[in-house]
Amino acid sequence: MKAAVIRAYKQPLVFEDVPVPDIQPDEVLVKVAACGMCRSDVLLVDGFFQGYADIPLPIIPGHEITGTIERIGSVVPRNAGIAEGDHVVVSPGWGDGICRHCQVGNTQICPNVRWPGFGTYGGFAEYIPVPARYVIKVAQHLKFEELAPLTDAGLTPYRALKKIRDAGGLGPDRVVGVFGVGGLGAYAVQYAKLLGAGAIVVAFARSLDKLEIAKRYGADHIIAVKDKSVEEVGKELAQATGQAKLDAIMDCVGAPEMMQMGFQLLGIAGHYADVGFVGDRIDVPLFPRVSGEQVFHGSFWGNNADLSEVMALATEGKIQHTIKTIAFEQINDYLDLMRENKILGRAVVKF
């Protein structure tokens, strides 16, 4: 099979012909139809994650995976609800099944988690072995290139916004800010409208083109932040919504300067959920967080239940996409474009 492989960090991927993988008795072999490209792929290639975990080479990246079931392992139950030829998406976090996080379904934060695309096999290849419990059957009318990003770009902000909602941060009298309208933020704007119970949704970004996407996807207001002070942004927010502070923030960037601005714009009893890590450190005053009883939510990817809910929304036609499909041979070119922040929406490798 064709595969794009990391042979050395901070170097272009190498295109190779490698053997189609075998599967374990409890696995299925997925024939990859499409795989989304994520900023995490860039961070992986550039060695960012080596500061947190030892990920030995070689690696086949790609974790936003959808395709068809090619083969089913011998111990996968007949009543598992999947068959050869079924269209599926691959749930990203494969837990050990025995820790307390797995026991309640949050396999993506298992201390012994495995990730497709962060090891021997990933979606930048024509086939991948997947534990059968981590594939979700999807409707055949859905397009593969639109399904792939939903397993991360469309999943991650969904879980984070559920956290804000469940903590009481959304409602008809609330103003919610979405920071960054890239691959994740375009979906976050839509989820803020779907889950917000009437909350006003304001999109913040540096790029006017991306803000136009946010407006098209339902943002009530858009604010460009490039070269503006916090005070200037706050005045625009007050003019647009009647208040200069945000009740909740969905941060899809995680850039230090953007986060410093966000915390200054966060109101009393506000909720801040971050899923991005363009930066790796933040420096914010502590007293306003304590005196304002603000809540910071770390939110990481999503579990099978979250992904099933996203798939249900997709099946009902409630999610819109900004997709650029590319060929397998263009992967390195688009990794460079992501480094330069020059992609609108999501780039998707389509086999």
How large is the average pLDDT for residues 238-246?
98
Q: How many residues does the chain have?
A: 351
Taking the CB of residue 171, how many other CB atoms lie within 10 A of it?
14
How large is the average pLDDT for residues 322-346?
95
How large is the average pLDDT for residues 166-185?
96
Q: Which residues are within 8 A (CB) of 127 and not within 5 positions of it... i.e. 6 or more apart?
A: 1, 20, 21, 29, 30, 31, 32, 70
pLDDT at site 168 = 96
Query: Mapping DSSP to helix (H, G, I), strand (E, B) and coil, where does residue 188 land?
Result: helix
Percentage of the chain surpassing pLDDT 90?
95
Rounded to the nearest integer, the mean pLDDT of the chain is 96
Residue 129, pLDDT above cutoff 90:
yes
Please name each of the domains of the chain with its CATH number.
Answer: 2-152+302-350 (3.90.180.10), 156-298 (3.40.50.720)
54 falls in which pLDDT band (50, 70, 90)? confident
pLDDT at site 160 = 98
Q: How crowded is the C-beta side of 249, counted as CA atoms within 13 Å?
A: 32
pLDDT at site 273 = 98
Greater pLDDT, 281 or 178:
178
Residue type for position 223: I
99 falls in which pLDDT band (50, 70, 90)? very high
Residue 179, pLDDT above cutoff 90:
yes
183 falls in which pLDDT band (50, 70, 90)? very high
Express each pLDDT in 188-217 by its tens digit. 999 999 999 999 999 999 999 999 999 999
Among 351, 40, 344, smallest CA distance to 181 is for: 344
Percentage of the chain surpassing pLDDT 70?
100
Interior/surface letters 288-321, b for 16+ CB within 10 angstroms, e for the rest: ebeeeebbbbebebbbbebbeebbebbeeeebeb
Can you name the residues that pair with 34 across neighbouring β-strands?
66, 350
8 A C-beta contact, residue 175 and residue 202: yes
SS3 labels along 261-330: HHHHHEEEEEEEEECCCCCCCCCCCCHHHHHCCCEEEECCCCCHHHHHHHHHHHHCCCCCCCEEEECHHH
SS3 labels along 116-170: CCCCCCCCCECEEEEEHHHEEECCCCCCHHHHHHHCCCCCHHHHHHHHHHHCCCC
How large is the average pLDDT for residues 121-135?
98
Helix (H) or strand (E) holding 68: strand 64-72
278 falls in which pLDDT band (50, 70, 90)? confident
How large is the average pLDDT for residues 40-63?
94
52 falls in which pLDDT band (50, 70, 90)? confident
Q: What are phi and psi of 332, to 5 degrees?
A: -65, -40
Residue 258, pLDDT above cutoff 90:
yes
277 falls in which pLDDT band (50, 70, 90)? confident
pLDDT at site 280 = 83
User: Cis before residue 58, ω within 30 degrees of 0?
Assistant: yes
The token duo for 197 is 């119970």
Residue 75, pLDDT above cutoff 90:
yes
Among 22, 15, 20, 36, smallest CA distance to 90 is for: 36
How large is the average pLDDT for residues 338-348?
92
pLDDT at site 279 = 83
